[in-house]
Structure 1
Amino acid sequence: MGYFDEPDGKDCLGKTTLTTQVGTVIGLTSSMYAFLFKYGRMTAVQGLVQGTNITLTMAALGAVFGATTCAVSAARGKDSRLNYFIGGCTTGALLGVKTHSYAMGFGMCAGLGSLAAIYKHGVLEDWPNMFEEPKY
């Protein structure tokens, strides 16, 4: 199942599950690189704890984005860029809560919200997907 197989506001559980899985994979990958390059002098237990923290944070961010975007789409009854901005903004605000920083929350809200809205604009305008094979 792809994320855009169902219209926004439908199959919220499936979309939230998919974004959570993507967040988990990003978290596991980030954990690996953090352990190798940043936390290389940790013991295995310390590395496991730090990796779990990173992975769970990224999984939570994916879940919040998927759930918020789908819930806002269902409540508004519209498929628009604003739904994705609100989902990205909520995700950024969660990072601010995790870091106990209003500046981080506001900045990530604006950044992730804008990035998500631009992505949705690209989907609505049929911009080419950078992960697909080019068609000649």
Structure 2
Amino acid sequence: MPGYWELEEGKDCVAKTVESTKFATFIGLSITGLRVVVFLAEPPLIALKTAASITGTTAAMGAIFGLTTCLSAQMREKPDSALNYFIGGCASGALLGVRTHSILTGSMSCFALGCTAALAKIAKIEDWRITGTAIR
């Protein structure tokens, strides 16, 4: 997500949302590609419907994450807070719960994605190294 990190936190919410949506769409297309390879026997129409569903859901999650994170930074007036990312990740996870009609899935996804997003922000702030180079 190089374009996402270059944008100032809490300022241009539209640009942040577009960048996070593009990244999430790429993830969704990757998941879809893997699924099509694994389930070769599916009829093409069902495979296309599933691909659209997966890609659309991940794109929506990216959009919700970008918008929620940016608006949280603006409302709280704390642009570099990991809590903004937790809130954005949690909102994205809640969408999974709505999509699957499951409170358990939504709450677990909220917690997992919120923690993951907050850790990513902390790693960015503190310049953690994963593979020998800092997250940029």
Q: TM-score, normalised on structure 2?
A: 0.90
1:77-88 matched pairs, under 5 angstroms: 77-78=77-78, 79-88=80-89
Identify the residue that residue 9 of structure 1 maps to in structure 2.
10
2:22 partner letter:
Q
Hey, what's the Cα distance between the residues in 2 that align with 1:44 and 1:99?
Answer: 23
Q: Secondary structure at the match of 2:108?
A: helix
- Alpha-carbon offset, residue 45 of structure 1: 1.5
1:1-136 matched pairs, under 5 angstroms: 2-37=3-38, 39-78=39-78, 79-128=80-129, 130=131
Q: Secondary structure at the match of 2:7?
A: coil
- Alpha-carbon offset, residue 40 of structure 1: 1.8
Hey, what's the Cα distance between the residues in 2 that align with 1:84 and 1:130?
Answer: 23
- The alignment yields a C-alpha RMSD, in angstroms, of 1.7
- Alpha-carbon offset, residue 4 of structure 1: 2.3
- Alpha-carbon offset, residue 6 of structure 1: 2.8
Q: Secondary structure at the match of 2:6?
A: coil
Show structure 1 runs of 4+ deviating over 3 A: 129-133
Judged with a 3 Å threshold, the aligned counterparts in structure 2 of structure 1 residues 132 and 50 are, in CA distance, closer, same or farther, namely farther
Hey, what's the Cα distance between the residues in 2 that align with 1:111 and 1:60?
Answer: 17
Matched length: 132
Hey, what's the Cα distance between the residues in 2 that align with 1:23 and 1:4?
Answer: 15
Structure 2 segments unaligned to the other structure (5+ residues): none
- Alpha-carbon offset, residue 41 of structure 1: 1.3
2:25 partner letter:
T
1:83 partner letter:
N
Residues 47-77 of structure 1: per-residue CA shift (max 9 Å, x gap): 1111011110110010000000001001111
- Alpha-carbon offset, residue 132 of structure 1: 5.6
Judged with a 3 Å threshold, the aligned counterparts in structure 2 of structure 1 residues 42 and 131 are, in CA distance, closer, same or farther, namely farther
